[in-house]
Amino acid sequence: MIVKNNKEIEQLRKNWKIHKIIFEEIKKIIKPWVSAIDIDILCSNLCKKHAVLPWFKWVYNFPANICISINDVVVHWIPKKNMIFKEWDVVKFDFWVKDKNMWLNTDAAFTVIIWDENKYPKIKKLLDTTKEALYKGIEQCKIWNKIWDISNAIQKHVESEWFFIVKDLTWHGLWFTLHEKPYIYNYGKPNTWEKIKKWMLLAIEPITWFSSWRIYEKGWFEIYISDWSYWCQFEHTILVTDNEPEIIV
């Protein structure tokens, strides 16, 4: 998870451009009555067009191109034809790109409320808080800090708005493989754990919800919240530099 040279950095930035295109195209068609499988097919076609791999499909035997998780599903739901978006659904799109040149990974996710988010101020507040917490964590990605400074910044902001951190899941490093050590929770004591190093590549992803209930798994991939309430996730791939952290995607 340590970037070694400028060629790798430039390739990561190229991955970012493709990642951004795919997310922009997804956002154009998100509305009620769209099927999750339509999004999955769109991702497949765009990856072929831009000569990259939707990498989660190639690891863990995941049978789709993108994870699309709705409402009480926290992460890793497999898109299906009968998954039809409805107004008020809270949907997370989690996607990974691997280029065919240097075989590097980028990882990012976003959450939306299907159709008019302003109709649902409490849910919108959860989304806004989670996104803000992500950027609070990114601000701590500096070489004089430690890993849990990132986690603590995320936790403090989420809990200051009376929401809860999903404590069973982690963010992670990435590079040639999708998930690399360290695996890091979104909570922790500041100024503890491993020192942040220059050229670390980190996929930071706060995952939050309305309650403090535990989560449970249904099968290998689908992870649910146990009280059927809403969850939220935002994620960026971050490169640690001498100065400000760079958001790769």
Max Cα-Cα span within the chain: 49
How many helices and strands in the chain, by DSSP H and E?
A: 4, 15
Query: Residue 23 — pLDDT band, cuts 50, 70, 90?
Result: very high
Distance of CA 132 to the CA centre of its chain: 14
Structure-token pair, residue 22: 């795919």
pLDDT digits (tens, 9 = 90+) for 50-95: 999 998 887 777 889 999 999 988 788 889 989 999 998 999 999 9
Output the pLDDT for position 131.
97
Output the pLDDT for position 228.
64
Output the pLDDT for position 116.
83
Higher pLDDT, 4 or 24: 24
What mean pLDDT comes out for the span 163-174?
87
Structure-token pair, residue 177: 């493989």
Q: At what angle do helices 36-49 and 6-29 cross, to 10 degrees?
A: 140
β 246-247/236-239 pair status: antiparallel
pLDDT above 90: residue 127? yes
pLDDT digits (tens, 9 = 90+) for 186-232: 999 988 878 999 999 999 999 998 876 666 665 556 676 666 678 89
How far is it, in rounded angstroms, from Cα 223 to Cα 55? Answer: 20
- Compute the Cα dihedral for 122, 128, 133, 136 and give only its sign: negative
Output the pLDDT for position 217.
61
Structure-token pair, residue 93: 């799109």
Q: Which ranges of the chain does DSSP label H, i.e. alpha helix? A: 6-29, 36-49, 121-139, 147-160
Residues 6+ apart with CB under 8 A from 17: none
Query: Residue 173 — pLDDT band, cuts 50, 70, 90?
Result: confident
Query: For 202, what's the count of Cα atoms within 13 Å in the CB-facing half-sphere?
Result: 33
DSSP 8-state class, residue 55 = G
Output the pLDDT for position 219.
59
209 three-state secondary structure: strand
Q: Which of 72-86, 102-116, 120-134, 216-230 has the lowest mean pLDDT?
A: 216-230
Q: Which of 92-101, 103-112, 136-145, 171-180 has the lowest mean pLDDT?
A: 171-180
Task: State the burial class of residue 191 (Cβ atoms within 10 Å of its Cβ: 0-12, 13-18, 19+).
Answer: exposed
What is the DSSP track for 62-83?
--SSSEEEETTEEE-PPP-TT-
Is CATH 3.90.230.10 correct for 6-247? yes
Output the pLDDT for position 145.
95
Output the pLDDT for position 159.
96
Output the pLDDT for position 224.
66
